[in-house]
Structure 1
Amino acid sequence: MQGKKAEEGTKNAKKVNLFDHNSLKHMLDESVSEIVTSRGYVEDARMSNVRLFIGTVIIVIALFAEFYKKKFPGNRDFLIGCIVLYIVFNVILQLISYTNEKNAIISTYPPAGSVTSTGLVVSSKLPRFSDLYTLNIKSGDPRSISAGKPVEFSKSVTQWFTKDGVLVEGLFWKDVEALIDDYLGEPKKKK
């Protein structure tokens, strides 16, 4: 019976290749999203929806350019227009990503019943060839009167993973929840 429970625990464990930088960051980012939503924050998907819409427009432009009924010499002006629109919408998409999202993992609405009027923007960094994972929490609207002071921490990913690449979720959750509490200004819990 005990062996069966231990086997089930390892099946549910989040395991990653410790030498794969991208999958390591992806797993930590997914866990941060879970932690933030478990605290009552609801993801704000408006910006993602705008990006999806612009991406759809880009695909439609490319399809029009590809399947236009006239052959090349006759559709030259139409193709030039499609290429220009394709470039313009791609530049808009890149500007949205660069100015609004940066390294954001999740943007949220304020929790239900909260006195604050702003949600969170949680972002992370894990530089290549580095083991320092930096997590940053700031207000969705930094100019709001209810916006908190941005907080961040940097820790080595080796503190949250076993030698086999299994995420020790309890330690990671504790660190992320402490950072959220720090942002919210809640007193630290005594051990």
Structure 2
Amino acid sequence: MQETKEASSKPRKVNLSDHNSIKHLLDESVSEIVTSRGYVEDTKLSNLKLLIGAIVITIALFAQFYKKKFPENHNFLIGCIISYIVINGVLQLISYVKEKNAILFTHPLGSFSTGLVVSSKLPRFSDLYTLTIASADPKSISANKTVEFTKSVTKWFTKDGVLVEGLLWKEVDGLINQYAREPKKSR
């Protein structure tokens, strides 16, 4: 516990001209804020993607180290290539359909709630960071309405690129509170 407290007390610095590092630092900080509120990360989708990735790697290894040499293993290689493409396509489909811009999936906080899907966007050549909190199960009767904000990242960084975590914490905490207060969807 002491190490994590010391690590989080260090100022986090980023190169302000690197769009990806800004988004990565903000996403990482948002995830920490949400989990500090008691939400536990749901890793089922990540584990599924890792399993599918391991299957793809196994197929590639079979193709590479098959005991017969090229002319004799022609049909086997074609099968491996087709399997590789199909399974990789499934992996991409899962990312596109299920994940979208999500940075965190959580388990439900209580028995009468759903987990959260926390998503973010930071378009290239823009300083506007959009953070969205939605229900992991939008069809559930206990799902709240989706909430979001769009703010300039310049609000959370000093001119030296140090993240002012207190300001970001306040914004994200307010968004979580707004999500919790939103009335349930009417049926």
* Length-normalised TM-score, structure 1: 0.90
Contact 1:139 1:150 in 2 (8 A): yes
**Would you say 1:176 and 2:172 are equivalent positions?**
yes
How do 1:1-191 residues align onto structure 2 when only pairs under 5 Å count?
12-111=10-109, 114-185=110-181
Distance in 2 separating the partners of 1:86 and 1:9:
41
Distance in 1 separating the partners of 2:40 and 2:180:
16
* 1:115 CA displacement: 4.0
SS in 1 for 2:131: strand
Distance in 1 separating the partners of 2:42 and 2:143:
17
* Unpaired stretches in structure 2, ≥5 consecutive residues: 1-5, 183-187
Deviation per residue, 1:26-56 (Å, 9 max, x gap): 0000000000000000000000000000000
Q: 1:126 to 1:93 in 2, by over 3 A?
A: same
Aligned structure 1 segments of 4 or more residues deviating by more than 4 angstroms: 8-11
SS in 2 for 1:129: coil
* 1:11 CA displacement: 7.5
Aligned residue pair count: 177
* Unpaired stretches in structure 1, ≥5 consecutive residues: 1-7, 187-191
Q: Over aligned residue pairs, what C-alpha RMSD do you find? A: 1.6
Distance in 2 separating the partners of 1:75 and 1:66:
11
* 1:117 CA displacement: 3.4
Distance in 1 separating the partners of 2:89 and 2:62:
19
* 1:123 CA displacement: 0.2
Distance in 2 separating the partners of 1:101 and 1:128:
19
Distance in 1 separating the partners of 2:100 and 2:7:
35
Contact 1:116 1:147 in 2 (8 A): no
SS in 2 for 1:72: coil
Which AA in structure 1 matches 2:134? K
